[in-house]
Copies of this chain bind each other. A is one copy, B any other.
Amino acid sequence: MSAKKQPARRKQADRREESRERILDAAEELLAGRGYDGVTMREIGKAAGADTSLVHYYFDNKAGLFNAVIARRAGVVNDAREAALDAYAAAHKGNMTAQGVLRAYLEPTFSFMMSGEPGYLNYGALIAKLNSTAMGGDVDTTHTPFDPVVERLVNLLNEVRPEVSRADLYWYYHFVSGAISLSLAQTGRIDVLSGGLCRSDDFATILDRMVRVLGQGFEALAT
A61 contacts the other chain (CB 8 A): no
A198: contacting residue among B142, B167, B183, CB under 8 A: B167
A168 to chain B: closest residue by CB: B209
Complex contacts, A175 vs chain B, CB 8 Å? 175, 179, 182, 209-210, 213-214
Cross-chain contact B35 with A134 (CB below 8 angstroms) = no
Query: Would you call the interface of chain A mostly helix, strand, loop, or mixed?
Result: helix
Interface size on A, residues (CB 8 A): 62
A 184-205 to B, binary, CB cutoff 8 A, 1 in contact else 0 = 0111111011100110000001
A residues touching B (Cβ–Cβ < 8 Å)?
Answer: 33-38, 125, 128-129, 131-137, 141-143, 147, 150, 166-168, 170-175, 177-183, 185-190, 192-194, 197-198, 205-206, 209-210, 212-221
